[in-house]
Structure 1
Amino acid sequence: AAFALKSDEEKNTFKRRFQEKKIHQEIVDFIFEDKNLFQILVKVSKDLFDACVAEEKDLNRAQSARINGNELFKSKDYKSAILKYSEAILYSPSFQNSTTFKEHLALSYGNRSATLFHSSKYSEAIVDIDEALQNGYPLERQFILFHRKNRCLKYLQMYQKEEQCTRSSADSINCENMNNQIPIHLKQPMIQTAIGENGYEMPKVNIKSNELIKQASDAVEMKFTVQKGRYICAKRNIESGEVVMIEKAFASWLKPSLYTKYCTHCFHPVDIIFFPCPNCISVRFCSVTCRKEALKQYHLVECPVLSSLKRLSNGHLALRIIMKAGIQNALNMINKPEIPLEKWLSTNFDTNYESLYSLPDHIENRQYENLCPDANGAVFLALFAHKMKLIDGNNIRKLAALLLKHISQIECNVMSIAKEKVNFTGTMGRKRYFPQTEELGFGIYPTICLLNHSCDPNVINSFSDIYAISTVVEDVAKGEELNVTYGPHHKRMSYKDRQAVLM
């Protein structure tokens, strides 16, 4: 709108002055100092913030779902009962100062644990039992949960923990005054046993670790040239099929249309058994651990404004990178002298903020038509973050510059995270893998981002939840560079089409 009000001469002057700015802070300062443009960004950020509507809990719907679940349980339709109990858990208020609300949530977890037990899902039942206890399950009925947990552990052949559970159950039953406070040993989850409780886990692949590149195997090393920057090459001969990198995304963004199908934290599929946010009904988690990590790292502050943030994709991911790093830690990084790229050859490179910060953003090569909207978006998002009370007014410009850096990094480093069905094709001379993919979202992987592009790559990336796995698909000689395709492949696209995509 601000540009529409400018004359052609004013637009040309704006473009010329904008292109004179070479660093992030100068670019965003230029946006701040254009009064008309800045006023519009202030208004848009305020309007969008004020329009945020969190999808709230609904006790009536939760109660209705639990009653329906009870009927389905009685008829032994356990799968449908689990679905209804999960719905009751999703809509049950949990953080209000109301014993009734919390007790309803606890009863829903307790009922789902019973259904899971009868479905032979003993590990999952244990998690729900612990959740029921933590949320205030009625003390006079807790012995039922302990007995159920005891039986689950027995089926799982966890005899030592079964004995511990038996003692706790006895303590509960022998409590002289049922109206007293819950015994101290019940205030924490008694036993951490469930398979899914720890959330996502690193895929089990036997590789020897690299001393400097923490997410890579000892088969590779980092090199540097002025023309290429940093890149990865073979430190020894590598055989086809060998895994050379496994890395968890530093930060990720799940497509909003998939919020009900995948864990928003680790991208693991969620079906009828999930753990909701305690405050909203928008997102789902596959485990208690994923929920705890997400709430601590970003979701607790995102939750009230997610209806607006989720539309911003790259901007949302950039803000999430900063929240995960810690706002003040990230802002402090701006003032630190950057490590020269060649120095990274002898510096530990890991999936941390310092390594991510060192990734190139190629801002000097970005076209005005792409960079200008991103700069406006960074200023808007900094103003929005101020509304979220993530920063004070003195740091808005600084945050905008940092957001522009990360948005630009995302443009050239982000990886699409996909659910894949890999097709093996051996009819093209050298063996190639062409996966059929369903894009779930995207993530930033500092280590794997060091792999350069080739239209005839010798490495492919696949995914296990938010873990990316880099596998060599042909024998690679010592000293040879490892590379992946950024999309274009010479077997699927013409040279002209590949150049058009990559330019």
Structure 2
Amino acid sequence: MENGWDVTVAKIVRKYNLTEVVKQYSGEVDTIRKLDAIPDIRKLCRSWIKKLPAVRGNDEEKSHLYRENGNEIFRSRKSPHVALEAYSKAIFAAPRGSPALALAHANRAIVLMSLKRHREAYEDCQLALDGAYPAENRLRVLFRQAECALQMRDREGLERALEGIEKFSVEQDLASFEEERYKRLQQLAEMIALSEIPPDSDDGLLSFPELEEKSDTVHGRFIVTKNEIKADEPIVQEKAVSFVPVYDPRGHSEIPPFDCQFCGEVNIIPFPCPSCGRACYCSVACCKEHSELHRYECPGYEKHLWYLIGIAHLGMRSFLDGLASSTHNLEELKECNAEKMFQYVSDKLRCSMKRTLMEKSFD
């Protein structure tokens, strides 16, 4: 089934007879120049993109309905996972920076705590506190956040939550039971600090054999280990140079796939980008780590662009992933034409990939 992108590209190819450009292919730079010589191509693509409707959630009332539905399900104790989905939908539907968004994060934290997903619950509490959560109810969120940190034995996280409670108590007196709860958490924070054991820096790390690249007329290029390996022993740990989640442009779901755009973890508790509200991450940390690259893709997510162009998104992501390393010291190229510059970047990428391949670990 063709979508608008397929139809637009097919029209451009027919109108400007671009099949001839492909037949005359002599290199990427030459192809780019030939396409650049037809300015109408950019105009047509720009026109198509501008017509795409925005898909960023912007309905506070719908968000409230999803959240209230989640509250009813959670109170009934029927299925916390269904309540979790309702709260996530409330997050995706809420306008950026709205009270509805903060309330959805705060409520999702409760069900996550019941599922013992304390790390995600802690981050939901923080997002609620950083957002437009009602000032009069912030104390309850701070206590939830402190409980999450306590369960994770996260002393720093617990201390941050306790600092928030202390600031709140300066502006408003705590009730007697709140004061007792606060003191208990302070005592537990001290106990965690006393019982902390410095982690072993090598603990949990896999060791890999040393690798060597070889080549012959029978196999071509291949990799061998320099020492013997045991059966089922790990040889390498590989990380994809670039990847994108698989999208279904024909899907009618109001929410995107729950796959982390940075680390690749699937079936996650989604933390969407605060700007486009569509790129998902498994944590706030992954969202921050991906921000340098995602800032170029963010406007496309707002218009559902990457879902529509399919595999072309992977091409764009690969370009962005390699841009920083391949353009390093590019300013040193003086009096250089486009072909030489493209060759320089290509050589840098090949060298980088070769070094990665020969490393013991690819993490």
Identity of aligned residues (%): 22
Q: Do the aligned partners of 1:61 and 1:88 also contact (CA within 8 Å) in 2?
A: yes
- Of 306, 318, 323, the match for 1:321: 318
SS at 1:170 equivalent? helix
- Of 85, 91, 94, the match for 1:92: 94
Go from structure 1 to structure 2 and tell me whether the alpha carbon gap of 1:52 and 1:175 turns closer, same or farther (over 3 Å shift). same
Question: For 1:6 and 1:114, how far apart are their aligned partners in 2?
Answer: 58
Structure 2 counterparts to residues 396-407 of structure 1, below 5 A: none
Partner of 2:244: 253
Q: Does 1:69 align with 2:66?
A: no
Partner of 1:25: 29
Structure 2 counterparts to residues 116-135 of structure 1, below 5 A: 116-135=112-131
Q: Do the aligned partners of 2:326 and 2:345 also contact (CA within 8 Å) in 1?
A: no
1:120-152 deviation per Cα after TM superposition (whole angstroms, max 9, x unaligned): 333332121111111143333222122223333
**Which stretches in structure 2 are left out of the alignment for 5+ residues?**
1-10, 175-188, 190-203, 334-339
Structure 2 counterparts to residues 427-442 of structure 1, below 5 A: none
Question: For 1:177 and 1:234, how far apart are their aligned partners in 2?
Answer: 67
Partner of 1:409: none
Q: Do the aligned partners of 1:56 and 1:281 also contact (CA within 8 Å) in 2?
A: yes
Partner of 1:335: 341
Q: Do the aligned partners of 2:209 and 2:229 also contact (CA within 8 Å) in 1?
A: no
Q: Could you say which structure has the higher helix fraction?
A: 2
Q: Do the aligned partners of 2:92 and 2:272 also contact (CA within 8 Å) in 1?
A: yes
* Paired residue total: 305
Structure 1 residue 237: deviation in Å?
2.3
Structure 1 residue 263: deviation in Å?
2.4
Q: Does 1:221 align with 2:219?
A: no
SS at 1:45 equivalent? helix
Question: For 2:114 and 2:13, how far apart are their aligned partners in 1?
Answer: 64
Structure 1 residue 62: deviation in Å?
0.6
Partner of 2:183: none
Question: For 1:154 and 1:245, how far apart are their aligned partners in 2?
Answer: 36
Q: Do the aligned partners of 2:322 and 2:349 also contact (CA within 8 Å) in 1?
A: no
Letter of the 2:136 counterpart: E
Partner of 1:108: 104
Letter of the 1:262 counterpart: D
Structure 1 residue 55: deviation in Å?
0.6
Go from structure 1 to structure 2 and tell me whether the alpha carbon gap of 1:161 and 1:309 turns closer, same or farther (over 3 Å shift). closer
Partner of 1:42: 42
- Of 267, 270, 276, the match for 1:270: 267
Partner of 2:184: none
Structure 2 counterparts to residues 58-457 of structure 1, below 5 A: 58-77=59-78, 78-95=80-97, 101=98, 103-158=99-154, 162=158, 165-175=161-171, 206-207=206-207, 217-223=208-214, 231-257=222-248, 259-270=256-267, 273-298=269-294, 300-306=295-301, 307-326=304-323, 330=327, 332=330, 335=341, 338=344, 354-356=348-350, 447-448=356-357
Question: For 1:304 and 1:468, how far apart are their aligned partners in 2?
Answer: 31
Q: Do the aligned partners of 1:52 and 1:305 also contact (CA within 8 Å) in 2?
A: no
Question: For 1:176 and 1:253, how far apart are their aligned partners in 2?
Answer: 48
Q: Do the aligned partners of 2:326 and 2:346 also contact (CA within 8 Å) in 1?
A: no
SS at 1:137 equivalent? coil
**Which stretches in structure 1 are left out of the alignment for 5+ residues?**
96-100, 179-190, 192-203, 208-216, 342-353, 361-445, 452-466, 470-503
Q: Do the aligned partners of 1:262 and 1:269 also contact (CA within 8 Å) in 2?
A: yes
Go from structure 1 to structure 2 and tell me whether the alpha carbon gap of 1:131 and 1:52 turns closer, same or farther (over 3 Å shift). same
Question: For 1:317 and 1:118, how far apart are their aligned partners in 2?
Answer: 38
Question: For 2:15 and 2:87, how far apart are their aligned partners in 1?
Answer: 55
Letter of the 2:232 counterpart: G
RMSD of aligned alpha carbons: 4.2
Q: Relative contact order, CA 8 A, sep 6+: which one is greater?
A: 1
Letter of the 2:315 counterpart: A
1:361-412 deviation per Cα after TM superposition (whole angstroms, max 9, x unaligned): xxxxxxxxxxxxxxxxxxxxxxxxxxxxxxxxxxxxxxxxxxxxxxxxxxxx
